[in-house]
Amino acid sequence: MGQQIGEQRPDLHLGDPDGPSVVTPHGKGAKDTETHQVTVPAANHQPIVRGPGHGEAMNTNREIHLVTRPAGEPRPENFDLVTTALPDLAEGQVLVRNSWMSVDPYMLDRMREAESYLPPFQLGAPMEGSAIGQVVASRSADIPVGATVAHFLGWREYAVVDDAAVTVADLSLAPEQAWLGALGTTGLTAYAALTQVAPVREGDVVFVSAAAGAVGSIAGQLARKLGAARVIGSAGGPRKTRKLVADFGYDAAIDYRAGSLAGHLAAAAPGGIDVYVDHVGGDHLVAAIDALRHGGRIAMVGAISSYYANEPVPGPGNLFALAAKDATLRGMLINSYFHLFPEWIGKAAGWLADGSLRTELTVAEGIEQAPAAFLDMMHGGNVGKMLVKLSD
Ligand SMILES: NC(=O)c1ccc[n+]([C@@H]2O[C@H](COP(=O)([O-])OP(=O)(O)OC[C@H]3O[C@@H](n4cnc5c(N)ncnc54)[C@H](OP(=O)(O)O)[C@@H]3O)[C@@H](O)[C@H]2O)c1
């Protein structure tokens, strides 16, 4: 039937990251998930009910299209909210009412023309990305109406999906949102980075950048569970650095916007670091290489500081120091680690349930807010995972 959960081919400012947050009741199986609302309310949307068939039958959809490719940083005018007619279901397909969709940094790559590990989004067509929702009509023998399924046709309120391309989410383990965050590719990225790419050993000093974000907020807690003696995170601004220590298990937090990153790192880890999970590149990577101890390991997960650059960004000038330190710098693409999903979900669901893995969401409301949510996340408007809520 469906694929492994999360097996996904992977300037509006919505909210003040230093402003008040709204804490919602905790979902089943996730004792410590905090949610920040950062949006204006969605416009009323009254889907048209066509009558009984193979379940609920709708005939219009609202979806976000990419209409022009961004030159450098994307702008709201690169996107359009389009109402389309829903096609009839073919044999083996299901109609999903999406309840949540994910916005992720890698989507920027797909907005551009150049071929990457995934093809560019087509202009004038709905974009794609991780989503979860309820099956409201089914012509599948395997996926019944009422099932909650994760799939890859986000950026739209309803998705017509082949049953082979959905995965039924077990809501007894964690609520829907968690399957796009801690139990999805976000959590798996932290797990693969710290167990496969730059494995943490007992007593290590670990440094994580973009530490208050989706992957980073899990990576710090996971490093500790894997035996790290000291975990240091960097993030932008005082609210986030406070949260790193108060909520996400970091021993020390660096505000990379305030002063010398290298100086702050030296102060936080006077004896150096053993592992660095790089989400940022640039100055962060230079400082981490300088701080690395003999035999140190760096997981090159992301380089968000250069994602908007129009010209290639030069690599770190101190790269050869890795040789003298007998150190490793290894890139990773999460798609190569999907086989670890069952192992990771087994562990992470238990930690969510017992409260020892704390996660946060930053939530934008309504399909019309999805482009702004993406842009906001890229500028640091999120704590934890940025999601768009599409329906109840
Ligand atoms: N290799 C893979 O397979 C893979 C898989 C998943 C994610 N990733 C990468 O991992 C990184 C984190 O992804 P995520 O989904 O967890 O996103 P995220 O951390 O939730 O959101 C992105 C964060 O990047 C930070 N940021 C933006 N511009 C920055 C800059 N110039 N310098 C420093 N920090 C900056 C912002 O936090 P601040 O407020 O702290 O600046 C923002 O919240 C990204 O680079 C992403 O591309 C890679």
Distance CA 352, CA 350 (A): 5
SS3 38: coil
pLDDT of residue 4: 31
Q: For the ranges 7-21, 28-42, 183-197, 335-349, which has the lowest average pLDDT?
A: 7-21
Which ligand 1 atom minimizes the distance to the CA of 382? 43
pLDDT of residue 173: 96
Mean pLDDT of 313-342: 97
Mean pLDDT of 377-385: 98
pLDDT of residue 212: 98
How long a stretch of residues is the chain? Answer: 392
Cα dihedral across residues 357, 362, 363, 368: positive or negative: negative
CA of 214 to the centre of ligand 1 (A): 8
Which ligand 1 atom minimizes the distance to the CA of 105? 47
Mean pLDDT of 48-77: 75
Distance CA 221, CA 335 (A): 23
Which ligand 1 atom minimizes the distance to the CA of 381? 43
CA of 25 to the centre of ligand 1 (A): 27
pLDDT surpassing 50 at residue 1: no
Q: Which of 191, 215, 313 to mutate to test the pocket of ligand 1 (most atoms within 8 A of CB)?
A: 215
Mean pLDDT of 311-340: 96
pLDDT of residue 46: 31
Inter-CA distances, 385 with 104, 210, 216, 280, Å: 9, 12, 10, 17
Q: What is the pTM of this model?
A: 0.90
pLDDT surpassing 50 at residue 19: no
Question: Which residue ranges make up each domain of the chain?
Answer: 33-170+357-389, 190-331
pLDDT surpassing 90 at residue 271: yes
| For the chain, percent of residues with pLDDT exceeding 90 | 82
- Banded model confidence at residue 185, pLDDT cuts 50, 70, 90: very high
3-state secondary structure 45-56: CCCCECCCCCEC
Q: Which residues line ligand 1 (CB under 6 A)?
A: 104-106, 186, 189, 210, 212-216, 235-236, 240, 256, 279-280, 301-302, 304-305, 332-334, 377, 380, 382
pLDDT of residue 21: 29
Side-chain-facing half-sphere of 83: CA atoms under 13 Å? 7
Distance CA 172, CA 307 (A): 38
SS3 116: coil
CA of 235 to the centre of ligand 1 (A): 10
CA of 132 to the centre of ligand 1 (A): 22
CATH of 190-331, one of 1.10.510.10, 3.40.190.10, 3.40.50.720, 3.40.220.10: 3.40.50.720
- Banded model confidence at residue 37, pLDDT cuts 50, 70, 90: low
Ligand 1, atom 4: closest residue by C-alpha: 301
Domain 33-170+357-389 has CATH 3.40.50.2000: no
Q: Give me 213's structure tokens.
A: 């974000």
CA of 210 to the centre of ligand 1 (A): 5
Distance CA 377, CA 17 (A): 10
pLDDT surpassing 80 at residue 150: yes
CA of 140 to the centre of ligand 1 (A): 37
- Could you say which DSSP state residue 75 is in? -
pLDDT of residue 114: 87
Distance CA 323, CA 99 (A): 49
Q: What is the dihedral of CA 90, 169, 189, 309, to 10 degrees?
A: 50
Which ligand 1 atom minimizes the distance to the CA of 282? 32
pLDDT of residue 312: 87
CA of 234 to the centre of ligand 1 (A): 11
pLDDT of residue 366: 98
- Banded model confidence at residue 61, pLDDT cuts 50, 70, 90: very high
pLDDT surpassing 70 at residue 350: yes
Give the gyration radius of the chain's Cα atoms: 21
Query: How many helices (H) does the chain have, and how many strands (E)?
Result: 9, 17
Distance CA 217, CA 362 (A): 13
Ligand 1, atom 9: closest residue by C-alpha: 302
Q: Which of 264, 276, 304, 329 to mutate to test the pocket of ligand 1 (most atoms within 8 A of CB)?
A: 304
Which residue, 190, 276, 186, is CA-closest to 232? 276
- Banded model confidence at residue 290, pLDDT cuts 50, 70, 90: very high
